[in-house]
Amino acid sequence: MKLYLILFLLFYSLDLVAQESIQVYSPYDSPPYVLNLEKGEGLVFDFVKELNETFKGKYHFVANFVTRGRLKIIFDRKDFAMIVPFVNPVWFDDMAEKKFLWTQEISKDCNVIIYRHDKPLHIKKLDDLTGLSTSVVNGQLNINIQKLYDQKKIRVENANNVVLNFLKLSKRRVDFLVIGYTLADYIIRNNKLFNLEIVETPVDVFNRKILVFSKKDARLGAVLRDQLSLMIKNGKIQKMFNKYELNSHPSICNNKLVIQ
């Protein structure tokens, strides 16, 4: 019996080695993208699992978590195939979608301002945030809020993850946050932070897609992009969103007006 087990593990290991390994990089490491890192639970892991089932025996996909800034360095230095889900072309200086391969839209989202009920914000323009404080992860500011910081109009703190930022706001340590609505809605509901409110007019509106990078093998890049597009078309990605009760097209993000 032990011999059969050893042989099974040996052939399984050889099979993994024979498969080409493709990295799935995520700039998100907080819920719902990652619920339990050690157990491999969360939206990113569900996405990787679906890829491994789809390409079973041909490619093996592995989840990695890095900052958006680190990703840009990886693109410059590496030529192996990789996938970055749930991101936007503008964040990677690829508005024309010429530098990388992109799928169609997965979801629509928008950056919104979050505040506390006991300190309501009446925001008509971004300058109305002057004198207030916010908190970000790894110094990553929304581009519109970055301008206020550069002009020394707001104070900015850092936290290790996005949930801590929400807790800081809830506990009156900062005055506001700017973050994507879908993630904000999830964190507020699942952490019962019902003393927080969302400004109804977004700061900006964007869509989420899947980035495919395969500088060395254009054919592989096209195969991956086409299969990912099929996953979106047949509803597999939406099913993942539904699992975590994520709104892929929130009505607030249909607002044509944005705070400037």
pLDDT of 14 above 70: no
Q: What is the pLDDT of residues 193-208, one digit of tens each?
A: 999 999 999 999 999 9
Q: What is the pLDDT of residues 18-60, one digit of tens each?
A: 578 999 999 999 999 999 999 999 999 999 999 999 999 899 9
Beta carbons of 164 and 182 less than 8 angstroms apart: no
Parallel/antiparallel/unpaired status of strands 177-180 and 204-213: unpaired
Beta carbons of 52 and 83 less than 8 angstroms apart: no
Tokens of 1: 């019996």
CA angle 37, 213, 245 (to 5 degrees): 45
The number of beta carbons lying within 10 Å of the beta carbon of residue 222 is 13
pLDDT of 89 above 50: yes
CATH code of domain 109-204: 3.40.190.10
pLDDT of 2 above 80: no
In this prediction, residues 115-143 reach a mean pLDDT of 92
pLDDT band, very low/low/confident/very high, at 257 (cuts 50, 70, 90): low
Domain ranges, ordered by start, for the chain:
2-107+207-247, 109-204
In CATH terms, the fold of domain 2-107+207-247 is D-Maltodextrin-Binding Protein; domain 2 (3.40.190)
Tokens of 45: 């892991």
109-204 shares the fold of 2-107+207-247:
yes
